[in-house]
Amino acid sequence: MRWLPLDHALRAAQADPARACRELDRLRAERLGAHDRERLYPERTRELRRACRDPQQIDQALRWADGLFLNGGDQSYTRAAWFEPDGKPSAALALLRTRLAEGSLVLGGTSAGTAVQASGSMIVSGGALPPGPAQATRALPPRVGCTQARACEGQAEDALLYHPDGGLASFALGVLDTHFSERGREWRLARLLQASGQPAAFGVDETTALRLDRSADGWQARVIGVGGVTVLRQAAPDRYWRWRWMAGERFDPAAAAPPLRDAAACADSARTQTLEADGPAQAQAMDQLRKDGGALRVRLRDGDREVDAGSWCAVDDRLLWLLPQG
């Protein structure tokens, strides 16, 4: 097992390796907010400096590996490590994509290392009940804690942001989100789909993996671990099907959305329930409604803020979610 010496600071330094490779510590502090790395991790720092001066070391490591695992953290910074400063894919990303297409490399990730694999659009940030609609951005997000430090540069710390060009695009089936049901991320993911126009999204719970295996017939998915994987797929504008697959279950991740029907009955539901946005209440209520049947108008609350989250309607093995427009 080897560590891949690649981060956002190294990618920035390689634009001027003769000078900047000597200043990786400064760049890492400026761009990543990571300080004193040379004292804390001297061997890792030396590896990064060698890779900065000789990028072929990264290519050699990628050619040698039969598996690559992407760590958590912040997917925007992980993405930046694989792209050139002008936004073009790096040689390392091109090699990674080639090996994945050949089927000669297994790719995995956790938390941000999962989210960064998305194609089409990549979720950047957002709380369980973000203020305002989802917004596209190619900039790095506000840092955690910027509200208290008064350094958010005009952007709310919990704003719902997404990168319109996607992430590494190793996962070609839609948007990816993580820590999903535990942190109440159903609403933010649905709003991101609504704003970005992406057809599908996958939310992976904690202590859970979405395993994908490629066959002659396409991709097959299996859920591993203790939680579940939620799939949202657009049925029509502002209308989404919702499935939840639990540990041990298999499904077709590229299955087409079923025909839309009975949307009016769902919208006319008389029963209303208010749920806490942050935490597992959304997933629990959705799962219970799918078992019991019927329909529900939903409001989500976070502190003193409350929003209309539309209507849920149980249909066979799934839910239909009617989102408010905009």
* Count of other CB atoms within 10 angstroms of residue 263: 17
* Count of other CB atoms within 10 angstroms of residue 156: 18
Chosen domain end from 244, 260, 276: 260
Of residues 150 and 186, more confidence is placed in 186
- Give the tens place of pLDDT for each residue, 106-151: 999 999 999 999 999 999 999 999 988 899 999 887 777 666 666 6
Q: If you search the block for the tokens 């040689």, which residue do you land on?
A: 91
Q: If you search the block for the tokens 């159903």, which residue do you land on?
A: 186
CB 116 within 8 A of CB 68: no
Q: Is 234 exposed, middle or buried (0-12, 13-18, 19+ CB in 10 A)?
A: buried
Question: For residue 263, what pLDDT is reported?
Answer: 63
Confidence of residue 37 (pLDDT cuts 50, 70, 90): confident
Q: Is the pLDDT of residue 156 over 70?
A: yes
Average pLDDT over residues 40-57: 88
Tell me the residue length of the chain. Answer: 326
CB 125 within 8 A of CB 87: no
Q: Which residues 6+ apart lie within 8 Å of 163 measured at CB?
A: 76, 79, 121, 122, 124, 136, 137, 138
Q: What is the mean pLDDT of the chain?
A: 90
- Give the tens place of pLDDT for each residue, 58-96: 999 999 999 999 999 999 999 999 999 889 999 999 999
Q: Which residues 6+ apart lie within 8 Å of 39 measured at CB?
A: none
Rounded to 10 deg, the angle between the 91-102 and 75-82 helix axes is: 100
Chosen domain end from 219, 241, 260: 260
Q: Could you tell me if 32 and 91 lie in one domain?
A: no
Q: Could you tell me if 124 and 196 lie in one domain?
A: yes
Q: Could you tell me if 192 and 131 lie in one domain?
A: yes
Question: For residue 41, what pLDDT is reported?
Answer: 86
Number of domains making up the chain: 2
Q: Is residue 269 part of a domain?
A: no
Q: Could you tell me if 180 and 149 lie in one domain?
A: yes
Q: Could you tell me if 43 and 69 lie in one domain?
A: no
Confidence of residue 271 (pLDDT cuts 50, 70, 90): confident
Q: Is residue 217 part of a domain?
A: yes
Question: For residue 269, what pLDDT is reported?
Answer: 64
Across 66-160, the runs of DSSP E, i.e. the strands, are 67-70, 106-109, 122-125, 135-136
Question: For residue 151, what pLDDT is reported?
Answer: 60
Question: For residue 140, what pLDDT is reported?
Answer: 81
Q: Could you tell me if 242 and 161 lie in one domain?
A: yes
Report strand pairing: 228-236 vs 239-246: antiparallel
CA–CA separation, 209 and 193 (whole Å): 22
- CATH number, domain containing residue 121: 3.40.50.880
Question: For residue 68, what pLDDT is reported?
Answer: 98
Q: What contacts 24+ positions apart, CB below 8 Å, involve 283-292?
A: 283/180, 283/181, 283/184, 283/186, 283/228, 283/230, 283/244, 284/181, 285/312, 286/186, 286/242, 286/244, 286/312, 286/319, 287/244, 289/314, 289/319, 290/244, 290/314, 290/317, 290/318, 290/319
Confidence of residue 26 (pLDDT cuts 50, 70, 90): confident
Chosen domain end from 225, 260, 295: 260
Q: Could you tell me if 84 and 217 lie in one domain?
A: yes
CB 203 within 8 A of CB 189: yes
Q: What domain range is 41 assigned to?
A: 1-57
Q: Could you tell me if 52 and 167 lie in one domain?
A: no
Across the chain, the runs of DSSP E, i.e. the strands, are 67-70, 106-109, 122-125, 135-136, 161-163, 175-177, 200-204, 208-215, 218-225, 228-236, 239-246, 250-251, 272-276, 295-302, 305-315, 318-322
Q: Could you tell me if 231 and 91 lie in one domain?
A: yes
Question: For residue 52, what pLDDT is reported?
Answer: 87
Question: For residue 55, what pLDDT is reported?
Answer: 87
Cα Dmax for the chain: 68
